[in-house]
Structure 1
Amino acid sequence: MDSKPSSKFDPILVADIGGTNARFALITAFNLQKKQFVVEYNITFASADFGSLEDALTHYLSQVSHIKPIRACLAVAGPIKTGQVHLTNLGWHFSVEQVKTAFEFTQLEVINDFAAFAYAAPYLDPQQNIAVKPGQADTDANIAVMGPGTGFGAACLVRSGQGSAVLSCEAGHITLASVNDLDTQLIIELRKQLAHVSIETVFSGPGISHLYQAMAAVKGVDAKNLTAAQISELATTGECAVCEATLDQFCDWVGSVAGDLALTFGALGGVFIGGGILPRMQARLLASRFVERFAAKGIMSQYVSQIPVTLVTQDNIPLIGAAACLHTNGQS
């Protein structure tokens, strides 16, 4: 990418640390005209090849030894509490302050993956993503991000005249609401499986199996023991009508949840949906009643009708978000 930095730009080390892969890169410039970061030296390692974050970080820096970044931001798929990070699937634990000292960073931020998604939202490339619902975004208003994957994540980029910040939350554990009679019937069946019918227990990867079981019961069909991947495959090939109905309901109901979060966060700046599942269901999502359900908010329908919704399929979101975390806070 051809770019001229907006000013002197000290490289930012960014990372996307997940249970499977650890991806590192350097942000070497910011293109002010395009509002895009220049991402270079992007290298992905298998997380399991390293015993700790420090080992992985040391190995990456050895690959780019001609550059010594003093600023860093890491996006991690795990909780961050009082400066301590636990990546349960990897058995990695580290102290933010200790890593900062060990690698002589003047700045080090560690954020979760959906916070990174929220920070990245204003810097995404419209041509690489898909407009699900048209609208007119208020460039000074809040932006909501959300999406189902292994769990269900959501966050809000809060914007005001004084600057911006990301609000993280546990929206996946909100009680799932019924909008129509089918929703009500499904929730009655879901309650037989689940102690708490939350957004995550229905829309995450494992949750799709719960939804399929409930859909089969509502339709009076014997359910098979299917995984989310099997449900998706059978729906795509047209071999299973209940699987098709499950994924159609999934897309419709996610529309309602997205509209709820748009209202909750006051997201007149737009809603961006992603995660591990929706980008793989583009055609079904666009053919669903997602938009209708998103906007069906009673006396607030006019409010949400103006909000654009974008399906994010662009790569490198956590890396862009990690860079934007420092840039947004006026530290670039």
Structure 2
Amino acid sequence: MSQTTSFQLTHFDPIIVADIGGTNARFAVITDYDVNTNQFSISYQATFPSAQFQSFEAALHCYLEQLTIDTPKRACLAVAGPIKANQVYLTNLGWHFNSQELKDSMRFDELSVINDFAAFAYAAPYLDPEQNIIIKSGQAEQTANIAVMGPGTGFGAACLVRDAGGCAVMSCEAGHISLASVTDLDQALIDEMRTELKHVSIEDVFSGRGLARLYRTMAKVRGVTPQNLTAAQVSEMADECDICDATLNHFCDWIGSVSGDLALTFGALGGVFIGGGILPRMSDRLLSSRFVERFTEKGLMSQYAGQIPVTLVVQDNIPLIGAAACIHERYQG
């Protein structure tokens, strides 16, 4: 278990935070918050393979047994799975727990369980600009809504809603919105996909499996027989395969339109932050694409969209930062 050095500016009640996914269970303790840098101090980090535990409770107990400080009384868990009322499901692991029962059994004063994109939204105001990549410049309004989104295993999105009374996160199912066409090529690709899919959603293109589908569809639209390639293979072969190269270029172009649509939907004048597992690995291609042009092309609302900054988030520990922020925001002031 690693430990970092924290700074003590004022009294801060520590927070147990966790990032629970299908592969790893990551835990840490937030030991301080520096108002001057707007950064949390993340200490006592530990990562365990999720599959070695039969339940989340077992993983949490394993972590707490290794802590060399008193168990904090506040906790927030970011999970890659659905949350319904107090019921939390991690389908890939077969884990299920009740958050109220967990709070009672662990004697926490505070316990929140949020999904991973809600954590991303909570984290957005606390991200370090120097660690991330500006995709589109703009002027963020400091008290306006922030949108987060990104393609990975699926397509996730959420909104940090802010007003004079504070903030809250709005989760959603934006990945299942119907994918809109802007160009003739977009429409040709959607028409081809509709020969296999009744409903072409954002996630059907902007996800790992979606990138592979976009490659196959691009090949058919261009009159070429597609190979059976995974998303990783499409990326790896881009230098030697024209269809792979065109697929990645169009992926970056088209997601500009999608991001702009969601920015308008959420009223995200506070900025858009893009994450997920795919785009951070193709940042150079994204920067050289038509992302900005397509993000901004919104007819009567083009000026509105034009002022919104867009950041590609590549820094570490986003779920842990977001989990900390979820608890911290409730007690500011």
TM bucket normalised to smaller = over 0.9
Q: Which residue of 2 aligns with 1:128?
A: 131
Instruction: After TM superposition, list the pairs within 5 Å mapping 1:1-332 onto structure 2.
Output: 4-5=7-8, 7-235=10-238, 238-330=239-331
Report the number of matched residues.
330
Q: Note the aligned Cα RMSD (angstroms).
A: 1.2
SS at match of 1:57: helix
The DSSP-based 3-state class of the residue aligned with 1:193 is coil
What is the Cα deviation at residue 193 of structure 1? 2.0
Separation in 1, partners of 2:7, 2:237: 49
Inter-partner Cα distance in structure 2 for 1:306 and 1:6: 36
- Residues 5 and 43, structure 2, Cα contact 8 Å, conserved in 1: no
How far apart in 2 are the matches of 1:5 and 1:152?
38
Deviating 4+ runs (over 4 angstroms):
1-6
Give 1:8 deviation, angstroms. 1.5
TM-score (norm 2): 0.97
Task: In structure 1, list runs of 5 or more residues that go unmatched.
Answer: none
Pair 17,273 (structure 1): closer, same or farther in 2 beyond 3 Å: same
Shift of 1:109: 0.1
- The one-character-per-residue Cα deviations of 1:254-302 (angstroms, maximum 9, x if unpaired) are 1100000100000000000000111111111111111110000011000
Does structure 1 conserve the Cα–Cα contact (< 8 Å) formed by 2:255 and 2:291?
A: yes
**Contact 2:271–2:309 (8 Å) recurs in 1:** yes
- Paired letter, 1:324: A
Tell me, in whole angstroms, the C-alpha distance in 1 between the residues paired with 2:144 and 2:273: 14
Whether the 8 Å CA contact 1:157–1:164 is kept in 2: the answer is yes
In 2, distance between residues paired with 1:5 and 1:40?
13
Following the alignment from structure 2 to structure 1, what is the Cα–Cα distance between the partners of residues 7 and 95?
38
Percent identity among equivalent residues?
68
Structure 2 stretches lacking a partner, 5+ long: none
Cα distance in 1 between the residues matched to 2:279 and 2:177: 20
CA apart distance, 1:328: 1.3
For 2:273 and 2:282, the matched residues in 1 are separated by: 15
Give the C-alpha shift of residue 4 in structure 1: 4.6
